[in-house]
């Protein structure tokens, strides 16, 4: 299952001691892929620092959800706060990492994930502030859209969430880093060849000396 592959690989990006925001959708599913001993503070913009695993019917509290509306638990050392404090934390760059989805991301690190004109415009939510102000932005998405078009582009075409903000991209096919020289191919998924990944990618990929697999 390709989403599982993305999540399993992405879990390695979250390190002890970090403060991390998980975006709605695929990123919030990461909490259940983290080993229980991983000592991180998960931030959710609706007002919690220190989310635990998703809640079960037995552990759920109607007043405790993540930004996607799913019931969650809190870990020891958690704090609750209002929305102004929550976004002060974001705009003051107190988060080490934001994990977000994408409609398009390009080789300069530009990100489009909030609007498809004429088709999808549900609002900005917290995406713009997270993308602009978090030190590291990790993008999780499928490599191609459902029509087989690459989401990893030379240049984004949709309205941008933020400019030059993305640091790393993990898809079902590859792990790529945005560098000053361009998009560096770090790893490819087991069972694929470098040529297949290059073929499926609109962006120009720089091939590192060592390309690992995951």
- Residues annotated as catalytic (active site), given as ranges: 45
Q: Is 74 a binder of another protein (CB under 8 A)? A: yes
Nearer to another protein, 35 or 62 (CB): 62
Task: Name residues contacting another protein, limited to 185-214 (CB under 8 A).
Answer: none
Q: How far is the CB of 166 from another protein (least distance, A)?
A: 15
Instruction: Return the range that interacts with another protein (CB under 8 A); candidates 35-43, 76-84, 138-146, 182-190.
Output: 76-84
Instruction: Return the range that interacts with another protein (CB under 8 A); candidates 2-10, 52-60, 139-147, 169-177.
Output: 52-60
Nearer to another protein, 142 or 196 (CB): 142
Nearer to another protein, 82 or 204 (CB): 82
E strand intervals along 134-192? 136-140, 152-153, 168-170, 174-179, 182-188
Find the binder of another protein among 104, 108, 129, 187 (CB under 8 A).
129
Strand partners, 207: 185
Token reading at 206: 């720089």
Q: How far is the CB of 182 from another protein (least distance, A)?
A: 21
Q: Is 57 a binder of another protein (CB under 8 A)? A: yes
CB 187 within 8 A of CB 212: yes
Q: Alpha carbon of 126 to those of 40, 66, 77, 162: distances in Å?
A: 21, 13, 24, 12
Q: How far is the CB of 176 from another protein (least distance, A)?
A: 23
Main-chain dihedrals φ then ψ at residue 200, nearest 5 degrees: -85, 0
Nearby residues of 100 by Cβ (< 8 Å), 6 or more positions away: 23, 27, 111, 113, 127, 130, 131, 137, 138, 139, 140
CA distance 185 to 6: 15
CB 9 within 8 A of CB 2: no
Q: Is 106 a binder of another protein (CB under 8 A)? A: no
State which H helix or E strand residue 194 sits in. helix 194-199
Q: How far is the CB of 87 from another protein (least distance, A)?
A: 2
Nearer to another protein, 132 or 167 (CB): 132
Token reading at 21: 């925001």
Give contact residues for another protein (rule: CB under 8 A).
Answer: 32, 44-48, 53-57, 60-65, 67, 69-71, 74, 80-84, 86-88, 90-91, 122-129, 132-133, 159-163
């Amino acid at each position: 299952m390709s989403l599982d592959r993305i999540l399993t690989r992405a879990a390695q990006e979250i390190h002890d001691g970090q403060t991390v925001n998980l975006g709605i959708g695929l990123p919030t599913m990461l909490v259940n892929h983290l080993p229980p001993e991983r000592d991180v503070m998960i931030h959710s913009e609706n007002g919690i620092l220190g989310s635990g695993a998703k809640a079960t019917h037995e552990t759920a509290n109607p007043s405790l959800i993540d930004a996607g509306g799913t019931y969650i638990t809190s870990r020891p050392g958690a704090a609750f706060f209002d929305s102004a404090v929550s976004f002060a934390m974001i705009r003051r760059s107190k988060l080490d990492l934001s994990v977000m989805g994408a409609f398009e991301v390009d080789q300069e690190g530009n990100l489009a994930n909030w609007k498809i004109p004429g088709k999808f415009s549900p609002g900005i939510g917290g995406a713009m502030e997270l993308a602009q102000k978090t030190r590291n932005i990790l993008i999780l998405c499928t490599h191609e859209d459902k029509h087989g078009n690459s989401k990893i582009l030379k240049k984004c075409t949709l309205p941008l969430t933020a400019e030059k903000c993305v640091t790393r991209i993990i898809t079902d096919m590859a792990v790529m880093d945005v560098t000053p020289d361009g998009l560096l191919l770090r790893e490819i998924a087991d069972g694929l060849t470098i040529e297949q990944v290059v073929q499926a990618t609109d962006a120009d990929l720089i091939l590192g000396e060592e390309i690992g697999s995951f």
